[in-house]
Chain A
Amino acid sequence: MSSKFTEGVVAESKRSYIHKLASEGTRIDGRDFDEVRPIKIKTGFIQRADGSALVELGDTKVLVGVKIEPGEPFPDTPDMGIMTTNVELVPLASPTFEPGPPSEEAIELARVVDRGIRESHTIDMEKLVIEEGEKVWVVFIDMHVLDYHGNLFDACGIAALAALNNATVPAERFGFGDDFKLPIMHYPVPVTFAKIGEWIVADPNLDEESIASARLTVTTNEEEKVNAMQKGLFGTFTYEEVKKSINRSMSIGKQVRKIILGDENGKEN
């Protein structure tokens, strides 16, 4: 194990190198500032799940499984289904992930993905009622990080949307009529930015993430509505930087959405 000291020295030389590249308009892996790493999506990877997607965002790999089961509705929303999200940062995915109860990183990650899906009304919850006030469908979105090379927010958000878009409500299994496709109304896509010196790059890789001063995730849907934002890390953003990031998220999100939906229709990827 390397000591904190050597990590610090490595981080410092990496920091100045990445800053120098940014000042020249490029990145450590040669991408443009708004260029997202290659995205590969394999839906239906887990047959036992009701919907699933294995997503690669560059070298980052995330598997999302959706399970749908009957359950009791919340008392204040008797006429709506329920969704829950969870992220497991399993120790096989990175030397820095540890076993045990969810870390604050995992909780934040799950909640930011959750907000994008919930607030955009991705799932038509009103169609998930079996018997009003008594029984509704509960959608469990479980995200398993399998290889961590930066930007889990976007990888998880993409994989969750792809898995939901691929999901079937298993009504037959529980004796509630015919199976039906999980009703999807919107397609929220998160785009995360990292601030490196005075430059802001989309979809940071692990090296960029490790030296970034601040992070901003902006989730937008296909109607160019903003559904979720989350700023992180110790640095700050100016208002101008935030406004630009929102616009950049909309145009990058559009391209990413095409890839997610293209895969579903068998056209792309």
Chain B
Amino acid sequence: MMGMKSDIRLIDDNGLRIDGRLPNQLRPIKMEVGVVKRADGSAYIEWGGNKIIAAVYGPREAYPKHVQESDRAIVRARYNMAAFSVDERKRPGPDRRSVELSKVISEALTSAIFVEKFPRTAIDVYIEVLQADAGTRVAGITVASLALADAGIPMRDLIVGCAAGKVDDVVVLDLNKEEDNFGQADVPMAILPRTGEIALLQMDGDLTYDELTNAMEMAMDAAKKIYNMEIETLKAKYGGDVNEQ
């Protein structure tokens, strides 16, 4: 939360949000795989005003050598925002926020990948935020998971990100930029929908136990819808049933 004070009303008299959505309504989402020909796998997502591209290279021999793990692949996600992706130009290169996000995204992706199948290798996942509109980390992890599937990397499940939060004392799904800037809490999550396991979980703001569990349940329900979109996107390119063993 930016913690900015404002007189902006984020929920109107009819209970609708600043962009006309209901509290538990997602923004429109579009996905596509195979957008970077040079990469081993890639995907693109538009989620509200977010435009994010992801590409996967690997498994390939990990360098420098000391980063290799003898019993598994290491997953190196790099979350990066383009300088022009936000209103005020962002200085290019990693800042503290993107270092933290890269770390939690790498850890979450590792939980889904059969890393033990590829000892001494690295799986590099590059996530480029071309335009940001709140929820970039959860959209980023979702598109990264599609790119991993496109690269044919064996996974226990696709991984799906979604966030919920609180604005004007109402628990809402999938915050947009205004809601993120002026809201009271944000709970970004990523789950493995088949088992419901939570692979990424962060939270900041001010929530009671009931508000927090309400937000988490909202995000997890929505993640299942996004999961179906991921499956349809892969089917559209590859056909068949992605859950088939």
Contact = CB atoms under 8 A, between A and B. Distances in A.
A237 B197 CA distance: 6
Interface string A92-129: 00000000000010011011000100111100000000
A255 to B, nearest CB: 18
Contact of B198 (A225, A234, A239): A239
Contacts of B154: none
B111 A246 contact: no
Contact of B70 (A4, A77, A239, A243): A4
A5 B119 CA distance: 14
B203 A224 contact: no
B243 interface: no
Interface stretch (B17-25, B42-50, B100-108): B100-108
Interface in B95-119: 96-97, 99-100, 102-104, 107, 110-111
A238 B100 contact: no
Contacts of B205: 119, 227
Provide the main secondary structure of the chain A interface. mixed
In this complex, the interface size class of chain B, counting residues with CB under 8 Å from chain A, is: 35 or more
Contacts of A227: 204-206
Interface in B162-212: 185, 187, 192, 196-209, 212
Interface in B71-129: 71, 96-97, 99-100, 102-104, 107, 110-111
A237 B103 contact: no
Contact of B111 (A4, A115, A225, A236): A236
B107 A226 contact: no
A156 to B, nearest CB: 15
Contact of A225 (B2, B3, B208): B208
B104 A232 contact: yes
B209 A226 contact: yes
A216 interface: yes
Interface in A210-268: 216, 224-239, 242-243, 246-247, 250
A145 to B, nearest CB: 17
B99 A104 contact: yes
Interface residues of A, number: 37
A46 to B, nearest CB: 25
Contact of A239 (B5, B96, B196): B196
Given A104-B102, A239-B220, A119 B206 contact: yes
A243 B97 CA distance: 26
Contact of A224 (B97, B107, B208): B208
Contacts of A231: 104, 198-202
Interface of B: 1-5, 70-71, 96-97, 99-100, 102-104, 107, 110-111, 185, 187, 192, 196-209, 212-213, 216-217, 220
13 contacts: A5-B70, A8-B70, A76-B4, A77-B5, A104-B102, A226-B207, A226-B212, A234-B107, A236-B192, A236-B198, A236-B199, A242-B201, A246-B213
Interface of A: 4-5, 8, 76-77, 104, 107-108, 110-111, 115, 118-121, 216, 224-239, 242-243, 246-247, 250
